[in-house]
Chains A and B, each alone.
Chain A
């Protein structure tokens, strides 16, 4: 019991909204509802919901880098793409037996993180910050998109995996759970839904612990005043790099899940539009908090899909308008602003109080 209390205490802190039994009761109810959802729905719809979920990891990673760390990365899709393609190349070559797809997942995410470490080293140890960080990261993802787009020829293959240029790489096996009595192939259906939901809960809680730790303290200190943070004896470059790598790994996880979900990935997943969308999700929901980012991302994605069905060409315009409105009317994010508005009459303390 004592260990449990201590665990819950680490999940709460000044860096996250939501604390106390009421919040965690709500959390348990939300997770229970999410778990019960496949019972009242059909496999196709549930599989479609997984599609939403796959993006949340990238959004949470950007929330960490941008909302908590104060560095706007415009190129999270680069890590998404690298991990997605890596998963494809690995699984097309080595198959799905013996749980290899999950090993491929780990390798793909590690490759994305390694690439982020390399780029991040030059960015942060070169003291590049602010808008220049956004420009460089955007350039990286656009260069990768261009590169992958010209790989249509048969000479562009790794082992038996054709890169296929703009047509995209396809037919990689989906994630496959080794199971006694026959592997469970995780097609976009109820099984995959539960696996991704479990990942989501674990990563959400892990990130809560991270941002409320001493590491998280330094992270928000860097966002607020990097010079002061350094003058307290912190090597802020290492903290920024570490955060960047974690965020990239999460984008990579999104990339793997997306690729496995649709058995398909194309260069446009690293293009301009794709790169801009995570910024819209995170900004609209409220970038300075993990929970608002999560809720915001799911909401915006659902709205986006509804718009795409009813009038595809306007969906992106509406996305852009949402971003502009958020920046003008509620810079800290719509959900954040709304939550504070609702909470204010009941709260004895001001937001940010400890």
Chain B
């Protein structure tokens, strides 16, 4: 049974069909990357999975349970956790307090301090524990938020452009962090632009284009797919894309 599954998921904003019949299945233990050109509907799909928007139709299942009607905090309690694109941290609070707020209901109060210490070490933020989170560097803010998301011990970790604005070194370090978390048993779904990062971490890649699943497969298969290169270079017209997607849904694209 997949950990996360979307079934014929649709989202329309007025006449705009942002998520178009998306079927996605995430197996336990996978690192799954969601890529696609700007406006492909990646963020909307993310928000549907989190419950920030209700879908127009379709269903979302988590570990076999239909969570389509659940509120975001209820989905988090089922075992999801998210890191936003823009670092969603508590800027006026210290780094330690950020983690404490994330962790206080998931750990025994007696061992909370040690657990926070261990996580600070993992994030390379021990020296900055007392600083205000808003004063951290951009990369550190991203790591802090990843740390907060991870501290909930989720079964599914959702990452929305985790490396946005990071240097290549920071991006690589983030990739290693994701691989370590995955090795510890966390399933990961990441929206990502940085192809080096995708290559570094992804077991499976889904390409979204104009709200539809355009292609799906391993990173090598996706990179070898000329049509994927075409949409990234802006050569595919909407008509071609429509044709190609219907093609994809018959299974022809699966590399």
| Interfacial residues, chain A to chain B (CB-CB below 8 A) | 14, 214, 217-218, 220-221, 224-225, 227-236, 349-350, 352-354
Assign chain B's interface to a size class.
Answer: 20 to 34
Q: Is the CB of A233 within 8 A of B92?
A: no
Q: Are the CB atoms of A224 and B93 closer together than 8 Å?
A: yes
With A and B bound together, what is the CA distance between A225 and B131 in angstroms? Answer: 18
| Contact call A231/B76, Cβ cutoff below 8 A | yes
Within the complex, the shortest CB–CB distance from B112 to chain A, in Å, comes to: 10
B89 to A352, Cβ gap below 8 A? no
Q: Which positions in B face A, CB cutoff 8 Å?
A: 50, 71-73, 76-77, 81-82, 84, 88-94, 96-97, 100-102, 104-105, 129-132, 145, 148, 152
A221 partner residues in chain B, CB cutoff 8 A: 90, 93, 101
Q: Is the CB of A354 within 8 A of B90?
A: no
Closest Cβ of chain A to B140, distance in Å, is: 16
Give the CA-CA distance A231 to B85 in the complex, in Å: 13
Beyond the given pairs A227-B84, A233-B105, 20 more chain A to chain B contacts, judged by CB atoms under 8 angstroms and listed by A's residue number, are A217-B97, A217-B104, A220-B90, A221-B90, A225-B88, A228-B88, A228-B90, A228-B148, A229-B101, A230-B72, A231-B73, A231-B76, A231-B84, A232-B76, A232-B152, A233-B73, A233-B76, A349-B130, A350-B130, A354-B96
- Report the separation of the CA atoms of residues A210 and B101 in the bound assembly, to the nearest whole angstrom: 15
Q: In the complex, what residue of chain B is closest to A13 when comparing beta carbons? A: B97
Expressed in whole angstroms, the minimum distance between the Cβ of B197 and any Cβ of chain A is 22
Residues of B within 8 A of A232 (CB): 76, 101-102, 148, 152
For B93, give its contact among A14, A227, A230, A231 (CB under 8 Å).
A14
Name which of A217, A218, A228, A354 has the most chain B CB atoms within 10 A of its CB. A228
Contact A353–B82 (Cβ < 8 Å): no
In the bound assembly, the distance between CA atoms of A213 and B73 in angstroms comes to 21
Closest to B98 in A: A221
A233 to B149, CA, bound (A): 10
B88 cross-chain contacts in A, Cβ below 8 A: 225, 227-228, 231
Residue in B94, B105, B129 whose CB lies within 8 Å of A352: B94
On whether A218 and B101 interact (CB within 8 A), knowing A227-B88, A228-B90, A353-B131, the answer reads: yes
Does B73 lie within 8 Å of A352, measured CB to CB?
no
Instruction: Output the least CB separation between B252 and chain A (Å).
Output: 38
